Amino acid sequence: MSGLLTQALQNVESAEQQIKNLNGLPPAAEAVKTSAITLANQAATSIHQLQTAVQTFVPKALANLKTAETQVSGDTPVKGGIKVYQRGGVKVYHSGLKYRLFRS
């Protein structure tokens, strides 16, 4: 099963090919055809770059989400000394740090 970005990339590439196959156009339409091909190429490049970024980001994000889920459901300390616990059905986040207000 292909993802949405793969489908978008295939659609843009298909549209570009259809545009390239247009023949016998008047000069003004040829200019529009050339611009449309350029835009399709730019869109395909952008989609591919986004696809690469997503493929890099998602595994890390899922791992972090799984860690957070484990910590919240297990009532365990999290990185940085933050304690997560539940009171009366409400999740409470407590770092143990003291906050100070500074006035200018």
Residue 66 is predicted with a pLDDT of 84
Instruction: Give the number of domains in the chain.
Output: 1
DSSP-based three-state secondary structure for 27: helix
Residue 88 is predicted with a pLDDT of 58
Q: Is residue 98 assigned to a domain? A: no
Residue 27 is predicted with a pLDDT of 92
| Spatial separation of the C-alpha atoms in residues 42 and 95, rounded to whole Å | 47
Residue-range definition of the domain harbouring residue 63: 4-74
Q: Which residues contact 33 (CB under 8 A, 6 or more apart)?
A: 19, 20, 22, 25
Low-confidence stretches of the chain (pLDDT beneath 50): 1, 98-104
Residue 2 is predicted with a pLDDT of 75
Residue 98 is predicted with a pLDDT of 41
Q: Is residue 94 assigned to a domain? A: no
Q: Is residue 87 assigned to a domain? A: no
Residue 101 is predicted with a pLDDT of 39
